[in-house]
Amino acid sequence: MDVSISNMVSAALYMNQAQTAEQVQMQVFKDALDIQAQQVTEIMASANLGADPGLAQEGNLGTLVNTYA
């Protein structure tokens, strides 16, 4: 009888440690995603700077549709 109780206690402690490790891993994963989201936001913001040359003011091409790429 004592062996089964000891096994149950060991299993409970192991599960508690595994759950704690999983929580730490999820927090690290969430932090990494937040950092990546911030970096992508900064890249997208910097890509938009000066990317709008506007339409041509004269000539036959580019006065109605901006085809700058």
Is this prediction's pTM over 0.75? no
pLDDT (tens digit, 9 = 90+) per residue, 11-66? Answer: 999 999 999 999 999 999 999 999 999 999 988 887 766 555 666 677 776 666 76
C-beta of residue 62 within 8 angstroms of C-beta of residue 56: yes
Q: Can you give the residue ranges of every domain in the chain?
A: 1-25
Q: What is the pLDDT of residue 61?
A: 67
Residue with tokens 């006065």: 63
Burial of residue 55 (number of CB atoms within 10 Å: 0-12, 13-18, 19+): exposed
Q: What is the pLDDT of residue 47?
A: 72
Instruction: Provide the 3-class DSSP secondary structure of residue 26.
Output: helix
Residue 69 pLDDT grade (very low, low, confident, very high; cuts 50, 70, 90): low
